[in-house]
Structure 1
Amino acid sequence: MSLDESEQKIDVREDIVHSSIPADELARLSDDVISALKTVYDPEIPADIFELGLIYKIDIEDDRMVKIMMTLTAPGCPVAGEMPGWVENAVGAVEGVSGVEVAMTFDPPWTPDRMSEEAQVAVGWY
C-alpha cells in the first residue's frame, strides 16, 4: 500500500493499492500509523508533523515494513538529526508493524500551505 501526499494531506482510503494484507487489517494499520505520526511534534511549532504536512509518503509493504518519506519545515531545523528517530520510534510501536524506515527529503520544500486546517488553527493562522 502506498499513501502519497501530492498536495496537502494523505487520503488513506484513496491511495490504497493491491496488497496481500487483508483490507480490514490494512485499514487498521494505516489508521494506527497515522495516529502514531500525530504523536510526534515539531518542538518549535504547536502542531504534530502529520497535520503540519511534513509526511510526504507512507508505504506499508506486504511484510508490514513501513517506509516513510518526510521533510522538515526548514533544512536547518535544530532537530533534523533527531526527528527521524522520533518518527521511527512512534511508528515502530504500532502493533503489527515489522519495522520502520524513515527517509528525509527537501524536494519539494515544505511550505505553510501544506498545513491542515487543524494545524493552522493550532498555530493561530486560521
Structure 2
Amino acid sequence: MNDLVQDALYDVIDPELGINIVDLGLVYGIDVDEDNNVRITMTLTTPGCPLHESIENGVKHRVREIEGINTIDLQLVWEPSWDPTKMSLKARKMLW
C-alpha cells in the first residue's frame, strides 16, 4: 500500500514550481498500518509557503482516492529543512 500512496503523490503538484511533491523531495515518509491508516510526513519549501493549504488538500484528496484507505494523518515538519539537494534529478532538470 505504501507504493500506491507514493505513486498517488506524484500527482500532487506544487502550484508555484509546477513539479510534483515527490520529485521536489517534500515527502519524507509514508507509513500505512494494517488497517490502511496512512501517515505522511512531509515538509514544504519554506515554512511560510503561501500555498500550503493547496498542497495539503491535494495530498489528502489524492490519497483518499485510493481504494481501501481509512484515515490520513498529514504531518508537516520543518526538520530537516528542505533544500534543493532533496530534489530528484528530474526536478532539478525542470528548474534549471
Q: TM-score when scaled to structure 1?
A: 0.71
Q: Distance in 2 between matches of 1:36 and 1:77?
A: 22
The alpha-carbon deviation at position 97 of structure 1 amounts to: 1.4
Q: Which has the higher contact order (CA 8 A, sep 6+)?
A: 2
Counterpart mapping for 1:1-126 below 5 A: 29-124=1-96
- Is there any run of 5+ residues in structure 2 with no aligned partner, and where? none
C-alpha separation between the residues in 2 aligned to 1:99 and 1:89?
12
**Unmatched 5+ stretches in structure 1:** 1-28
Higher strand share: 2
Shift of 1:98: 1.7
Count of aligned pairs? 96
Deviations 1:86-115 (A, max 9, x none): 101111111221221111011111000000
**Matched residue type, 2:68:** G
Percent identity over paired residues: 38
Return the alpha-carbon distance in structure 1 between the equivalents of residues 11 and 79 of structure 2. 24
| Structure 1 stretches of 4+ moved >4 Å | none
